[in-house]
Structure 1
Amino acid sequence: MSDEEHQFESKADAGASKTYPQLSRLHGHAKCHFFAIDIFNGKKLEDIVPSSHNCDVRHVNRTDYQLIDISEDGFVSLLTENGNTKDDLRLPTNESLLNQIKDGFADGKDLVVIVMSAMGEEQICALKDIGPKN
């Protein structure tokens, strides 16, 4: 073997060090953007979740009840499908809906209130006028 030093000059560039996976490095995983409106207070909700993850979705139920009476303290008496009464709901805080319920009841109309329930909370969210009382 000789004692000569060999020097190699590389003129080829594979470019591997100048590239990177742009999508995963800069932007992360694909994401799902969720928008919702809180049914109880009307606030806009927003969440961003990676598409590879699960997310919890709340069960929301809608029930129609016939309005029987409005008490002076703001509670309503409602007739359920099986003929029992439900007396634990307050009138809604939405002024427009509140006025529609009070005015319709004062005029003697048959009213059906739509109640939305989720996560242990219930609230009157809408109203249907089914005609004058017989």
Structure 2
Amino acid sequence: MSDDEQHQHTFEQAGAGASTTYPMQCSALRKNGHVVIKGRPCKIVDMSTSKTGKHGHAKVHLVAIDIFTGKKLEDLSPSTHNMDVPNVNRTEYQLVNVDDGYLNLMTNDGTAKDDVKVPEGDIGKQIEQGFEEGKDLLVTIISAMGEEAAISFKEAPK
């Protein structure tokens, strides 16, 4: 094998390098921040730190709500350990149409986005009702760890 051959690699797939999560020390987490518990992106609603015991570290008790399902999750971790924090993005889209349980949305630059489901519950009903009344609606989409959902909406300023 020549020197040139060992340096020729073929990469089947290359990502942009953007990770869905990043590490953060437990003691640096804050209420209303985000954290990954049991593989789910969550918003921290309560946290408490226990004192260091006879053997070991201070522990951080986290109570958080899954940002997509609304389920309450809890975790206990040493304050010096790292936990994953999800990269959470909020984006506003113009509502174009409601079609077969999906929202047809448009970005500011005119790109179509039609893979977001109408949210369940009151928000979904209010979005559909507002659209049927002919209102111009802006829908806020939250995305994290490869999932996304509509979380709120408002009427577009005229």
Normalised-by-shorter TM-score class: 0.7 to 0.9
Residue in 2 aligned with 1:96? Answer: 122
Identity of aligned residues (%): 50
Q: Secondary structure at the match of 2:85?
A: coil
- Which of 89, 108, 124 is the aligned partner of 1:61? 89
| Deviation of the 1:23 alpha carbon | 2.7
Give 1:111's aligned residue.
Answer: 137
Q: Which runs of 5+ in 2 are unaligned?
A: 1-51
* Alignment partners' CA distance in 1, 2:75 and 2:101: 35
- Counterpart residue number, 2:106: 79
Q: Read off the aligned partner of 1:43 and give its amino acid letter.
A: K
- How far is 1:39 from its partner? 1.2
Judged with a 3 Å threshold, the aligned counterparts in structure 2 of structure 1 residues 131 and 109 are, in CA distance, closer, same or farther, namely: farther
Who is 1:7 aligned against?
Answer: none
Higher helix share: 1
The one-letter code matched in structure 2 to 1:69 is N
Query: Could you say which residue in structure 1 is the equivalent of 2:146?
Result: 120
SS in 1 for 2:82: coil
Cα RMSD over matched residues? 1.6
Whichever residue aligns with residue 82 of structure 1, its letter is D
Using structure 2 for the length normalisation, give the TM-score.
0.63
In the alignment, is the contact (CA less than 8 A) between 1:109 and 1:131 conserved in 2? no
Residue type at the aligned position of 2:58: A
- What CA distance in whole angstroms lies between the structure 1 residues aligned with 2:98 and 2:59? 47
The 1-side partners of 2:80 and 2:54 are apart by 13
- The answer on 1:36 being equivalent to 2:58 is no
State the distance in 1 between where 2:63 and 2:92 align: 26
Question: How far apart are residue 113 of structure 1 and its match?
Answer: 0.6
Q: Which has the higher strand share?
A: 2
Amino acid at match of 2:142: M
TM-score for the superposition, normalised by structure 1: 0.74
- Retained in 2: the 8 A contact 1:111–1:128? yes
Q: Which runs of 4+ in 1 moved over 6 A?
A: none
Which one is further off, 103-112 or 28-37? 28-37
The amino acid of 2:149's aligned partner reads Q
